[in-house]
Structures are given as structure tokens and as C-alpha cells.
Amino acid sequence: SVSKMASVCKRLVSVGTFGRNIRLHSRIFSTSPTANAGEDSSDPKKQAKEQIYHVRERGYQLLRDPRINKGMSFSLKERQHLGIHGLLPPALLDQDAQVIRVMENFHKKETDLEKYILLCGLQDRNEKLFYRVLSENVEMMMPIVYTPTVGQACQLYGMAFRKPKGLFITVHDAGHIYEILCNWPEPKIKSIVVTDGERILGLGDLGAFGMGIPVGKLSLYTALGGVDPSTCLPIVIDVGTNNEALLNDPLYIGLRQKRVTGKVYDDLIDEFMEAVVKRYGQSTLVQFEDFGNHNAFRFLEKYRNNYCTFNDDIQGTAAVAVAGILASTRITNKRLSDNVFLFQGAGEASIGIANLIAMAMVEEGTSEEEAISKIWMVDSRGLITQDRPSGGVTGHKAPFAKPHKDIKDLGEIVKAIKPTALIGAAAVPNVFTEEIIRGMASWNERPVIFALSNPTSHAECTAEQAYKYTDGKCVFASGSPFDPVEVNGKTFYPGQGNNAYIFPGVALGVTSCGVRHVTEDIFLRSAQTLAKMVTKEDLAQGRVYPPLSDIQEVSANMAINIAKYVYKRGLASHYPEPADKAAFIRSQMYNTDYERFIPDTYTWPEQ
């Protein structure tokens, strides 16, 4: 009928994919011939749809587009229709067979860096296959595409660079950032991860080599959170580097100059944020990643109430750590306020965790003053106290300064404070000594020890050391992965407090609902969601986090709870409000199944 034809025409959507125009025809199977404006788009019946892509470009160029390319999964009809017949071997392999082939090649690689390069190549050729392989092998591949291998990849990024995966914006581009954003071929960006490369993981200033972090981070947005990769944009803001080795490296791909600071730097970041909103809209999520400590807090406070932004090093780390602490209370049988927390480090990660712990204690019924009194911090000058002779107690450290004698040695500090929970997030390797760990076990029945620094070489202690020196009594979590540990005949499976438990779910929830400001409450709700998904079986094995294999479900549930919260608080801008938040969120998640490129055909009756 004419109405049906009109309905179909309305569903022809133009989608730009790396410079090629693709027309997406979505056929919605429903008893109703047309969809009424304002209908609840989260209705699962209306989400059962088959996607058929109509591509204008044909032939060899089509096979070079990772968004479209299916490799040997193109059917014979598709190969003939699209002008690629003969360009592929004659065998027809479904996606399952392709997964097997990828995994066989993966296991043949001898080093983690070789595996990383293999997966990067797959992402460049066949995006859906890449995300299926990654999402189905999270525990195996997370250490490859993210911490710790991504750190090694960043150090060698100049050798690994093959094709653009994001935007490089330099200090010399001031006044033209909007035009550069317009050069990116995808017009509907919802998520940006940006770094200036000053503090990449625990490796320091890597300048433009830091691009590996936004690329890897956004890969996890999709693989773990179901965020559509076509809506994601990695960005490096290159203002130079103070790394002399890079400045003298003939293969360095960034600006060969010392870092620009001060007003010029600040104005550049201001222009960047304004350009993002102008190009993509107010609800575009901007995740700041691996900026220097002196800039991270500053930018978070400056932009959090004016833009949709968060800092994963501060807020993501805080949420995942607090989730682990919340889960640990089910082992220690203590309320949060019954604990005394001691932080090794007072940088952005430690301050973020401490603030969120205090917020959680206040929600538990504790006064803010009492909550702060339970938290102690140590920096490079020793215990943070009021009127410390060596000074340095300023800014975000000041609220945690308490009257106490000046102590510099961590071992002596631990003896004096006698914490129930010891948390390391300063990337000082092996700082949790045998004496310190044994001391924690001497005055705590179940000491909580979190060695959150990464990569593995920067961990405060290993899982084996923590379990061995406490005779298996400790509740342990780490920032990098560790193998299971056997102590006294019992096997413990260390929980990895990876930010990947948090940022994919937060990104999915925030971008799906059109949130314009990411509040601290969103991160506390995310931490609580994660903690509740830790099962009794997990706790019995020593885990304070769910297995990484469950992370997609964690992200989905986190996004659903965020959706419920932001609509209740009036923080969402996506309307009409979905009646079924769970169905709505799941309908937004990326599907790794291949699309069809040949529409169904039919015949008319003979005249």
C-alpha cells in the first residue's frame, strides 16, 4: 500500500562510513504497518529488525571498508551483486568459521605485542569480526588490547602506526579545531576519549604515542559496553612532549617540541571543548584520559558542570575501587564506616577513590566529617598531616590532612595508623613490603589490600605476596591481572579492579539517555551496581569483582540503572522517556552479526 511504501521510505537513513555513503534500510516486523511518532522505541517487539545495507560503492573498495567488509562471509549473490566476485577465494565461510581462524592465528603468536598487532589488523579489516572475537574472549584478550600490553604498544606506537584511527590535534591548530573535527567522516559522534599523552598509564609522558590509549579505550566501549563504534572518536591533543628520548627518536610521530603550558594550553582545551559541542552537540561524552595530575583535577572541576565529561583516571578508578570495597564488606562483615583507609599515593586516583568512599559512607548514614576522619593519605613526603613541616598539603589533599606527628616511612605509617584497608594507586612498585603486609594481617582478621597501580611492573605487591604473607587471610584486588594463587591448599582468584568494569557501562547509559552532565552520583550508582553483581561464589574464591567474562552483562545492568536514575532526576535529554529502561538500553547495544547486502526479491503475478 501507499502507506507501507511511505513508512519504508522514512526508514532510509544515510550513514557516512569513512567517506562512503551507505543507505541503511531497516525493516521493522510489526503488526502495525507504520510506526507512530512518539511510540516507545524501547518496545522489544519494535526492535526485532533485520538490517539490509545498500552500498553505493562496489568492488574492491568495498572490501577495504572495515565497517562493511565480511571477508569470505559474503554470499555468492552478494559477491556477484557488489562486484567482488573473484576478488575472494571461492569458499563461503560463516562468521563462526572466521572466529576459529582468528583464534588459531592468535594462539600462534608468541608475544603479547604480536597478538596486539594481530588484533589491530583485524580491526582495520573487519570490524564486526574483531568485536565478536574480543567480546567472546574478554578474559584472554583484555590484557592484550588494554592494560598491560597497550602500554608497551604505546611506547612503540611509531612503529605500529598504519592508518588513521582517530584525530591528532596540535597546539598549532588553535583557531581551527572545529574544521579538524569536521574532517572526521562520521557525523554522529557520541563518545570521545581524549588524551594529551602526558601521563600514559604508569609510563609517563609519551606525547602523540599516547593515541593507543583512546583507541584501546573506545574498543572496550564497544566490546564491553555495546557502544556503536561509528559513534566513537579517539583524539590526541599534541602540545609537545618533555620526553627527551622521544624528541630524539627519528620515528617519533608527534610534535618535536617541549610541552606548551599556561594560557596557550588552557585556551586550546577550551576551544576543543567548544568545538566538540558545536560539531556534535551538548550531550557528546568527552572522557579525559591520562592527563597529568596537575591538569586532570583542574579540567574536571572546570568542565564537569558545563559539558558531558568525566575523567576515568579519577572517577572511573574511584568507582571500580569503591565497588571492590563495597564487595569486601560482605567478607569482613564491616560497614564502610567501621574501616580505616590508608592510601599510598595522593594523586588523582587516590583522591577520587577517597572522595567516593566518603560519599558512600555519607549515604550509609555517616556524617561527612566522620567519613573524612576515616581516610588517611601518604604522598612522596610522607603522611599527610596538618602543619606538616615539609609542606605540600594543598588543593585536594588538604581535606584529608589530620593532626598527627610527621612520619615519612610507609612501614612506620602503617604501624601508627593500623588501617583495615591499604590501597595503593601511586605506581610505586613493591612498596607494600612483606613487613607491611604481615603487619596488616596481625591486627586485622581479614585485611583489605588493594594494589591498584598498573601496568604489572608498577604494582605495589603481587597477588602471591599478599596471599602468602597473610596466610590467605587478605581480601586482595589489583589493577593489573595476576594468575590464581594457592595458599594452604586453597586457590584464590585475584580480582582485577579494572576501570573497564565502569567506563563502558557509564558510556552506554550516558550516551543512550542524552545525559548532559555526568554527576558523581552516577559513579556511585555504578559502583553499587558492580558490587551487587559479585556472587557468593566469587567471594568464596577471593574475588571482589565478577569474572571479566561477565563484563558485558555488568555494563548492561549498569547502563540500565543509570537510565533509571537520570530519568528520575531529570538529567536525561532523550525523550520520550522509554517506559521499559532495560529494553531501551539493550536496543542501543551494538550487534556483531553481519548485515545482509541483498534485499529480498519477489515476483508479480502473470498478467
From the annotation, which residues make up the binding site?
Answer: 199, 289-290, 313, 454, 498
Instruction: Report the SS3 class of residue 68.
Output: coil
**80, 85, 93, 266, 350 from 90: Cα distances, Å:** 12, 9, 9, 56, 57
Hey, which residues does 496 pair with through a beta bridge? 478
> Which residue numbers are catalytic?
146, 217
Q: Is 333 left (phi over 0), alpha (psi -120 to 50) or beta?
A: left
Residues within the annotated binding site for (S)-malate?
Answer: 199, 454, 498
**98, 117, 126, 425, 477 from 121: Cα distances, Å:** 14, 6, 9, 33, 33
Residues within the annotated binding site for a divalent metal cation?
Answer: 289-290, 313
Instruction: Give residue for cell 545492568.
Output: 557
Cell of 4: 507501507
Q: Measure the CA–CA gap between 522 and 520, rounded to whole angstroms.
A: 5
Residue 445: CB atoms within 10 A of its CB come to 10
Instruction: Report the SS3 class of residue 429.
Output: coil
Considering only CA atoms, which of 13, 58, 36 is closest in space to residue 598?
58
Residue 489 · residue 281 · CB < 8 Å: no
* Segments in 146-254 forming alpha helices (H): 149-155, 157-160, 177-183, 212-225, 244-247
Q: Is 65 left (phi over 0), alpha (psi -120 to 50) or beta?
A: beta
Three-state secondary structure along 296-363?
HHHHHHHHCCCCCEEEHHHHHHHHHHHHHHHHHHHHHCCCHHHCCEEEECCCHHHHHHHHHHHHHHHH
Give Dmax (Cα) for the chain: 100
Cell of 388: 606538616
Q: Measure the CA–CA gap between 380 and 191, rounded to whole angstroms.
A: 35
**Angle at CA 275, nearest 5°, toward 501 and 189?**
45
Q: Is 59 left (phi over 0), alpha (psi -120 to 50) or beta?
A: left
The single-letter code of the amino acid at 59 is G
Residue 389 · residue 383 · CB < 8 Å: no
Instruction: Report the SS3 class of residue 527.
Output: helix
Q: Is 482 left (phi over 0), alpha (psi -120 to 50) or beta?
A: beta
Residue 463 · residue 455 · CB < 8 Å: no
Cell of 203: 609510563
